[in-house]
Structure 1
């Protein structure tokens, strides 16, 4: 797999990573055996960046990834996150960017991962009650101690990214970015990343799976699937957004690609490292095949015509979670 400099701080990863969240939480039933096999297969296919967080489970996703990487740690770039406070009993408390929590959470993550350091440590969400300088300052101390190699932030506003980067250089910013969600092209975030030499990691590059073309009815989601709360999959929004997917599928078919492969190739074309999530080897292999796809200017123009910014209707999260974005 093509290797990609993620930002300008010396971190290099495969152009496509693996989001591990769905192996443990939010997207219906889980299967540890298949998840472990999927991570193993990802390593075989050249994936290096593996993305997890203390809040996925909570804790169990870090434990799963640590188990999968036993004896293979050197082959992986491990990214995990803090900033959503989780009590030791697994109860979600809320946002917490206080320095003392950042340190305590990292020590706990290292125990769950079974590792001595993490390669990329993100602030999962910005705590509005704590200046970003204090939070990133605490994260920088962990770098100085060798427990963390590189820093990043997730879903932060452009000015917040600038302030964080001034405290300690950021290797990456992770945010939702896909043909379904192009907000960073217009809110200043993409501009500040380019100006500051910060890498872009795109989560949900398949639009929470909608761009795969496999979801054609809201009832396709399991009863406990988090996506049932996503406004883009509700009411009239579902039908309108499905029309966008159909157009993406049409272009993909003309190129002998699956809709997922076209969508991932588009994100790659933008210069981002994508971390599509899957818990099955067959989807992993389909996704990774997209790294070999080259899009022509004509392809990009055709995609732009059917999936421009604003084509998708509905907020990215339910109202109670929208306030945690762009901190």
Structure 2
């Protein structure tokens, strides 16, 4: 039995939302082959039925926006109940040459395209997915404020930005949320007095909500990966993008660490994913998480983590285990764009 979903304001002046949202990237096949439309519609129906109304997608998530558009066309009365977040700035038009483009022109182009794909007049929360290093963030924000004034978006967010970039964006117009990778294995945003990586402290100072993506470490913290053979799907981005946690040598060490985390979960009478999600939520009431799944039973299990309270000793033990992670959270050449810096205006 899943308790009613716990909700909190997203940031100082943001909407009240479930602290656990639903990440939709893998529902369109980021790690495994996507299911049929009918299978995926059934999953979205169930998510709605059990009260999960904070849905997160992006223009680069394969057919995710198109699928949502079809679902909204089938359920037009439900669109108003969904807090829908999407993102722009990662240009996948040529998969062999992925580019970052956070220019005002691209923001307008992609917003129009996303609205068309999702068959909706507005997006509740629109993120700058990454910072291109060429466009002053002030110019990007001006374009998003313009779209907000036109009623096309309700709230503005940033993702993969530096603390300095977040501050500059917020000075133009309040940023409602910043979405960053955050999990037991990925804690870079906790850096203190760091103008680049100190995103968590900057967000708290500004009253910006923090949305943790990949709170289960791209699946490694579920305990469901026991060897490299579990990553053999042809479309699995963890393998194709060469993410260090999942490479030979690191993967075996990380599986062993997750086994230790699973022992803590077993002693507490919860699942490994539930324990890891409870840890993220315990880091502060201003932390939201968007674990991805396409399985209704797993979604219900994830939501049950809202009822788990961790003791100080359990948190300390888990934090120490997380420090054992082998390998970086991303490839070295990609690390710079995960805390993207904007050029001066």
Question: TM-score, normalization: structure 1?
Answer: 0.94
User: Do 2:29 and 2:235's aligned partners in 1 also have CA atoms closer than 8 Å?
Assistant: no
Equivalence for 1:111:
116
- Report the 3-state secondary structure (helix = DSSP H, G, I; strand = E; otherwise coil) of the residue aligned with 1:325: helix
Equivalence for 2:236:
225
Give the alignment of 1:140-219 within 5 angstroms. 140-186=145-191, 187-219=197-229
Partner Cα distance (1:136, 1:66) in 2? 26
Equivalence for 2:274:
261
Partner Cα distance (1:68, 1:299) in 2? 41
Give the alignment of 1:47-66 within 5 angstroms. 47-57=52-62, 60-66=63-69
Extract structure 1 runs of 4+ deviating beyond 4 A.
Answer: 89-93
Equivalence for 1:286:
301
User: Do 2:161 and 2:337's aligned partners in 1 also have CA atoms closer than 8 Å?
Assistant: no
Give the alignment of 1:266-277 within 5 angstroms. 266-271=279-284, 272-277=287-292
Instruction: Give 1:212 shift.
Output: 0.7
Partner Cα distance (1:53, 1:295) in 2? 32
Question: TM-score, normalization: structure 2?
Answer: 0.89
Are 1:124 and 2:129 counterparts? yes
Deviations 1:120-179 (A, max 9, x none): 000000010111111111111111111100000001111011011111101100011001
Partner Cα distance (1:135, 1:25) in 2? 30
Match of 1:17 among 15, 21, 37: 21
User: Do 2:159 and 2:179's aligned partners in 1 also have CA atoms closer than 8 Å?
Assistant: yes
Are 1:4 and 2:1 counterparts? no
Instruction: Give 1:263 shift.
Output: 0.4
Instruction: Give 1:9 shift.
Output: 2.5
* Superposition RMSD in Å: 1.6
Partner Cα distance (1:278, 1:54) in 2? 18
Partner Cα distance (1:224, 1:207) in 2? 18
Are 1:41 and 2:52 counterparts? no
Equivalence for 2:30:
26
Instruction: Give 1:74 shift.
Output: 1.5
Partner Cα distance (2:110, 2:54) in 1? 21
Partner Cα distance (2:190, 2:224) in 1? 27
User: Do 1:4 and 1:13's aligned partners in 2 also have CA atoms closer than 8 Å?
Assistant: yes
User: Do 1:9 and 1:170's aligned partners in 2 also have CA atoms closer than 8 Å?
Assistant: no
Instruction: Give 1:85 shift.
Output: 2.7
Match of 2:71 among 68, 72, 75: 68
Partner Cα distance (2:91, 2:173) in 1? 22
Partner Cα distance (1:117, 1:103) in 2? 13
Paired residues, number: 322
Instruction: Give 1:259 shift.
Output: 0.3
Partner Cα distance (1:92, 1:123) in 2? 19
Instruction: Give 1:90 shift.
Output: 8.4
- Report the 3-state secondary structure (helix = DSSP H, G, I; strand = E; otherwise coil) of the residue aligned with 2:249: helix
Instruction: Give 1:40 shift.
Output: 1.7
Match of 1:99 among 101, 104, 112: 104
Change in Cα spacing, 1:214 to 1:194, as seen in structure 2 (3 Å) is same
Instruction: Give 1:306 shift.
Output: 1.9
- Larger displacement relative to structure 2 (145-154 or 42-51): 42-51
Instruction: Give 1:232 shift.
Output: 0.6
Partner Cα distance (1:132, 1:292) in 2? 39
Equivalence for 1:77:
83
